[in-house]
Amino acid sequence: MHFLKLVLRNALRHRLRTALTVLGLVVAFLSFGLLQTIVAAWYHGAEAAAPNRLITRNAVSLTIPLPLHYREKVRAVDGVKAVAVANWFAGVYQDPKNFFPQFAVEPVPYFSMYPEYRVPEEAFRAFLRDRKGAIVGRKLADTYGFKVGDAVPLKGTIFPGNWEFVVRGIYDAGEAKTDTSLFFFHWDYLNETMKQRQPLRANQVGIFVVEVSDVERAAAVSQEIDKQFKNSIAETLTETEQAFQIGFVKQTEAIVIAIRVVSFVVIFIILAVMANTMAMTARERFREYATLKALGFAPRYVAALIFGESLAITAVGCAIGIGLTFPVGGWFASQMGTLFPVFEVSENTVALQIACAVAVGAIAAALPARRAARVRIAEGLRAIG
């Protein structure tokens, strides 16, 4: 108890210096937490991917479609449980800044593969009955104020023209990492419209979503699917849903690496600030440390006082920083809209913040504690604090 009182009094001796140091720590750990959460949000699609789902696309590029008749050949491969077609739509809602993912899908097989998309049965039946019907995620609905029955006009980019959909249902997340910022509509509606507008682009599929019956055979099934179309006019590349999602992340990998590096640079900077604070503190108290040693206190006790003060200051700054990470992260997510569909401060991020705090507190105190523990009594008593 006496030791803790000494640590507390030492930390509060120069209150302005301590307050400014704590403020710097708060900003550093808050920034670190937000940057790490951004990195985690970037990878959310890959982390939410199911191991029993495969994606079959054109081997040359995702932008080149596959013939619709491939579906039956894929379905016939041993180990394939179900197949659903899907197309990226990329329509514009009111303003080009209003970006959100839109997919034309085969409703029944597609949603059966994604049980994490929780759609009320009545709403799903209404969606099936309406060719122009759409299912939207809860976050997307909240962002743009969509309600069941609302008309949603989209201006096509990949598929030119004006398109109008009607919201028939809103799906909720079945898991914490489920993306609820998506917009789904009938692939048949897209295909039938293209037959009228651009017949040569009809019966073309962006990707096939494949569900395998045995996860252990996913690699073998992937190879068998691609083997079916070897040397054809449209060869395929089949990979796990996770690998497919990571492929998108790799396109912006330099940005992700930069954000991760910056987050640790912030910690390094605050380490330098903390080390300077503890060096000043120790230098001012050399006479006191020498007095303690003259009274019989061991060198390790003197060193422990410095370590205790450093860790206490760091702990306060870290605790406040972690506490602010959650509300600030929530505010940041609301401002980003659907850009980050899943933006949650994870336990791993908090653990990293705590680990960095311990490292900063210990490293900042290491050299001053060593000097204080080794100071000679006579030399320390002559020191001017």
Query: What average pLDDT score do residues 236-264 get?
Result: 81
pLDDT of residue 379: 59
- Least confident residue range of 62-66, 289-293, 333-337: 289-293
Flag whether pLDDT at 219 surpasses 70.
yes
pLDDT band with cut points at 50, 70 and 90 for residue 251: low
Residues 47 and 344: their CA atoms lie apart, in Å, by 13
pLDDT of residue 45: 61
- In contact, 177 and 44? CB cutoff 8 Å: yes
Q: Quote the tokens at residue 228.
A: 């079916």
Provide the percentage of residues in the chain whose pLDDT is more than 70.
87
Query: What average pLDDT score do residues 102-131 get?
Result: 94
- Dump pLDDT digits (tens) for 222-246: 999 999 999 888 999 999 888 888 7
pLDDT of residue 322: 93
Flag whether pLDDT at 318 surpasses 70.
yes
Flag whether pLDDT at 297 surpasses 70.
no
pLDDT of residue 383: 54
pLDDT of residue 48: 67
pLDDT of residue 8: 76
- Least confident residue range of 129-138, 168-177, 181-190, 297-306: 297-306
- Least confident residue range of 38-47, 117-126, 159-168, 361-370: 38-47
Flag whether pLDDT at 110 surpasses 70.
yes
pLDDT band with cut points at 50, 70 and 90 for residue 295: low
pLDDT band with cut points at 50, 70 and 90 for residue 303: confident
**Selected residue with higher pLDDT from 316 and 15:** 316
Query: What average pLDDT score do residues 70-93 get?
Result: 93
pLDDT band with cut points at 50, 70 and 90 for residue 333: confident
pLDDT band with cut points at 50, 70 and 90 for residue 117: very high
pLDDT of residue 90: 86
Average pLDDT, the chain: 85
**Selected residue with higher pLDDT from 288 and 31:** 31
Burial class of residue 264 in the structure, from the number of CB atoms within 10 Å of its CB (0-12 exposed, 13-18 middle, 19+ buried): middle
pLDDT band with cut points at 50, 70 and 90 for residue 88: very high
**Selected residue with higher pLDDT from 322 and 46:** 322
Query: What average pLDDT score do residues 41-46 get?
Result: 68
